[in-house]
Amino acid sequence: MSVSLRLSRGGSKKRPYYKIVVANSRAPRDGKYLEQIGTYNPLLAKDDENRVRLVEDRVRYWLGVGGQPTDRVARMLDKAGIKERAATVNPSKGEPGKKAKDRAEDKAAKLVEAEEAKKAAEVEAAEAAAAAAAAPAPAVEEAPAEEALAAAEAPAAEGAAEEAPAAEASEEQAQG
């Protein structure tokens, strides 16, 4: 028969109170036990001396005959200085899951693309500025350009004048 040192729950709903017991490892959690070796009241403050009570000589006896404490009881025994518990290390606990890694990779790829696009836009702007600075400004041909501009504005003004009476006529038809 393998023996375990474990917690047996008591108390009412949402008001837990535990007995620290020695029981057959196959027995139910709150079932028959061999001996009660302490109590644990999680509702008390952590620094309260009555939170965990142990009968040290009986704990040492059951550990001596091969009793195996559960993780929670082992923590209590370690804190009481009865049995040292080795620290557990889980290096993959803080590692993100597969989907989180995929999202991070996608975000990094989008960031790289955005930086490349920004650099390309800066290069194009610099090239356009260099081309504009390198082109000679035609000072002699300003007069013909002004005449062409004035000629282009004249027909546009005539077209706008013709459209105004047509717009008035369409409004009259809509009202009538």
Q: What is the pLDDT of residues 9-54, one digit of tens each?
A: 999 999 999 999 999 999 998 889 999 999 999 999 999 999 999 9
Closest CA to 23 of 47, 45, 46, 4: 4
Closest CA to 18 of 54, 64, 66: 54
Residue 3's contacts (CB-CB under 8 Å, 6 or more residues apart) are 22, 23, 24, 25, 34, 62, 65, 66, 67, 68
Residue 16's contacts (CB-CB under 8 Å, 6 or more residues apart) are 9, 10, 42, 43
CA-to-CA distance for 23 and 133, rounded, in angstroms? 92
- Judging by DSSP bridges, how do beta strands 3-12 and 68-69 pair with one another? parallel
pTM metric for this prediction: 0.52
What tens digit of pLDDT does each residue of 81-135 get?
A: 999 988 788 888 888 899 999 999 999 999 999 999 999 999 888 888 888 887 6
